[in-house]
Structure 1
Amino acid sequence: MIGAIVGDVIGSVHEGSGTKTKEFPLFVEDSRFTDDTVLTVAVAEKLLHGGEYVNRFHRYFHLYPLAGFGGTFIRWAGTFEREPYNSWGNGSAMRVSPVGIAFDTLEDVMSHARQSADVTHNHPEGVRGAQATAVAVFLARTGKSKDEIRSHIESEFGYDLSARLDDIRPGYAFDVSCQGSVPQSLVAFLESESYEDAVRNAISLGGDADTMAAIAGAVAEAFYGGVPEHIAAPALERLDGRLRAIVNEFSRVFGHKIWHKPPRKTHS
């Protein structure tokens, strides 16, 4: 979860800028949390305290209406609509990482990822993006190698994760669909050497930078056993007290599942 939030903050200033390099400062004055962080925290709060996703999402939208939500979500949440709007956008994937941490079986992760998506992103592609992201987080934190993660995601969800970043980057453009951004975000993780490298990889594709860095960062946090303190601290300092309180509570309850791991191999 923290990996997603940090990725969002780092990527926030690159959204729409078409960044095609890995060489950039991690934080600048304008680095901030966006709707990716807000809804990730909403999911975490729901998993901690129960209730319905629709109510959590409405509440968090009205608490942070200027966080950068997409137009369709604004219309849905702003009018307290309760029916989903069949979205295939990557919003379902950007917010789902707490599910991959909180549950201990693949079946539960799949089920709860669908539940978190269905409230808005009930299109098959929206559900697929959320489930693939949550499952990648789950597999990463439960000791699977990158080769095993790649194989499972490809066979279960039909995403092609064989391309190299150097081949994707030149022709890749801003794409908010799950099908056009989740596989690329997962490749950014698979080709990484560290948490920081995964986030830099995702942003360097020049797409929906904050969301792609959130997705890659979530999986990287689980795989590498956390986010380095010197990277996590500047991002978490940008959260307000409300968001930080839920992040801290989620970390107390579920953090043992991913932190303090011994060094591990990055490939099988």
Structure 2
Amino acid sequence: MKNYLISEAIGDIAGSAYEGRSHRIKDYDKVKLFSSRAHFTDDTVLTFACAEAFIDNLDMTMNLWKCANEHRHAGFGSKFKLWMASHKPQPYRSLGNGSAMRCSSVGWLAKTEEECIKMATETAAPTHNHPEGIKGAVATALTIFHLKNGKEKDFVREHLLNEYYPDWANQKYADFHDGYTFNSTCAGTVGPAMICFLESKDYVDCIKLVISLGGDSDTLAAIAGPMAYAYYKKMPDALVYQALKKLPDWMVEVSERFDDIVNEIAKKNLKNQVYERSMK
């Protein structure tokens, strides 16, 4: 596999066209991926900043701060902008979905569940150090982690959705679609994104389902997209190509290096599994 980080970028870019009251959409059949309004947002900037911090062993807080300030007009929220303006940025106990939207690199990189939780917390802590902010990142990263390792959808619903967002665990897409409105909290975003993945048929179906909730569309799709890719193991080449064309050079370079590192980790894990089986 490759283009791990692009699975987030596609969702973000596709969802960006439906941000704002005048553009929100409820009709699945009318969702068009990569319309003329589509562009990457703060979701992708911070996703790539987290990934870069991990693979280059950089300070997480300062790399988030640096990358955000290099893309000031990417759509950051008001509180995050104040954080960006500080020369000594401090966490502000956010419980918003900004922690969940940027943590997908963790699910791909982590070798164990314990490491996944630790790394997800690390991505959230610079700003989203409220327990709900941390939980959103952990739940998202763990879902990607377990799906890449072969867990099925039932596991996600029973062990992750039920544990982290029990209020959503027994709901179906049809139960909340009509009444769902814009929500920027982790509690109101991660659960619905997980359900959209669980009820999807493929990567594109997942993205269209989350966008047609009519909510925080770019973030919902940025969260659900990597889950779908981790499970289905494929995305349309045309979408990958279009996403890469919209990203700056530094993101493309980080994406390529990230792919190499994740695939090397996967090879080592496979060798270890083969060795362990041979010793039994």
Specify which of 19, 26, 43 is matched with residue 25 of structure 2: 19
Structure 1 runs not aligned, ≥5 long = 259-268
Of 176, 179, 191, which residue of structure 2 is paired with 1:183? Answer: 191
Change over 3 Å in CA distance of 1:81–1:227 after alignment to 2? farther
Worse overlay, 38-47 or 19-28: 19-28
> Given the alignment of the two structures, is residue 247 of structure 1 paired with residue 265 of structure 2, yes or no?
no
Contact 2:136 2:190 (8 Å CA) reproduced: yes
1:150 to 140, 147, 157: 157
How far apart, CA to CA, are the structure 2 residues paired with 1:257 and 1:216?
Answer: 23
The match for 2:14 is 10
The SS at the match of 1:188 is helix
- Measure the CA separation in 1 of the matches of 2:190 and 2:60: 22
Read off the aligned partner of 2:178 and give its amino acid letter: P
Contact 2:6 2:243 (8 Å CA) reproduced: no
Does the aligned pair in 2 maintain the 1:18–1:173 contact within 8 Å?
no
The code of the aligned residue for 2:101 comes to M
Partners of 2:52 and 2:254 within 8 A in 1 = yes
Task: Give the aligned partner of residue 262 of structure 1.
Answer: none
| 1:102 aligns with one of 96, 100, 109 | 109
Q: 1:173 to 1:52 in 2, by over 3 A?
A: same
> Aligned letter for 1:30?
R
Q: Deviations over 1:21-73 (max 9, x none)?
A: 21222111221100000000001101100121111111001110000011101
Query: Structure 1, residues 71-107: CA drift from partner, whole Å, max 9, x if none?
Result: 1011001223332000000000000000000011000
Partner letter of residue 194 of structure 1?
A: D
Q: Which residue of 1 aligns with 2:54?
A: 47
What's the TM-score once normalised by structure 2's chain length?
A: 0.89
| Partner-residue secondary structure (3-state), 2:246 | coil
Report what 2:118 is aligned to. 111
Where 2:178 maps in the other structure, the secondary structure is helix
Q: Give structure 2 stretches of 5+ with no counterpart.
A: 267-280
Q: How many angstroms does 1:149 deviate by?
A: 1.2
Shift of 1:247: 1.1
255 and 5 in structure 1: CA distance in 2 versus 1, 3 angstrom threshold = farther
CA distance in 2, matches of 1:151, 1:110: 18
Q: Check conservation: 1:84, 1:119, Cα contact below 8 A.
A: yes
Matched, 1:174 2:182: yes
Q: Partner letter of residue 11 of structure 2?
A: G
Q: 1:112-151 to 2 correspondence within 5 Å?
A: 112-151=119-158
Matched-pair contact (CA < 8 Å) for 1:2–1:227: no
Larger CA deviation: 27-36 vs 84-93: 27-36
Superposed CA offset, 1:98-152 (max 9, x none): 0000011000001110111111100011001000000000011000000011111
Output the CA distance in 1 between the equivalents of 2:88 and 2:196. Answer: 35
**Which of these two proteins has the greater Rg computed from alpha carbons?**
2
**Offset of residue 154 of structure 1:** 3.2
Percent identity between matched residues is 38
Aligned to 2:84: 77
- Supply the distance in 2 between the matched residues of 1:50 and 1:112 (Cα, whole angstroms): 12
CA shift for structure 1 position 169: 1.0
Taking structure 1 as the reference length, the TM-score comes to: 0.93
Distance of 2:133 and 2:16 partners within structure 1: 22
8 A Cα contact 1:161 1:186, kept in partner: no
Distance 1:209 1:244 in 2: 23
Distance between the aligned counterparts of 2:196 and 2:52, measured in 1?
Answer: 28
Is it true that 1:30 corresponds to 2:34 in the alignment? no
Residues 198 and 220, structure 1, Cα contact 8 Å, conserved in 2: yes
CA separation of 1:147 and 1:256: change in aligned 2, threshold 3 A: farther
Bigger CA drift: 78-87 or 201-210?
78-87
**Structure 2 residue 211 is matched with structure 1 residue 203:** yes
Relative to structure 1, is the Cα distance of residues 255 and 27 closer, same or farther in structure 2, using a 3 angstrom cutoff? Answer: farther
Aligned 8 A contact 1:92 1:129 in 2: yes
